[in-house]
């Protein structure tokens, strides 16, 4: 598809940019969420192991 009009070419570039931006966000957002979940899990496990008390043992059993 070859366009000679400047307006049509600008619209095509804008639509293509929007499409690929959407694809990038479709990958980036779940990656950030899963990274945050893994970091929080690691931090919680590290913190509870460093602060071993019977109260935390009961909470882990749940």
pLDDT, tens only, 3-62: 568 888 899 999 999 999 999 999 999 999 999 999 999 988 888 666 666 665 666 665
* Within-domain flag for 1: no
Domain contains 45: yes
Check pLDDT > 60 for residue 1. Answer: no
Q: Is position 49 within any domain?
A: yes
Q: How many domains does the chain have?
A: 1
Q: Which domain holds residue 30?
A: 6-61
On whether residue 30 sits in a domain, the answer given is yes
Closest by Cα among 33, 40, 37, 38 to 48: 40
Residue 57 lies in a domain: yes
Residue with tokens 């192991």: 49
């Amino acid at each position: 598809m070859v366009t000679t009009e400047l307006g049509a070419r600008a619209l095509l570039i804008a639509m293509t940019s929007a499409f690929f931006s959407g694809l990038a966000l479709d990958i980036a957002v779940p990656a950030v969420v899963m990274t945050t979940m893994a970091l929080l899990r690691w931090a919680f496990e590290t913190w509870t192991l460093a602060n071993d008390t019977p109260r935390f043992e009961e909470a882990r059993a749940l």
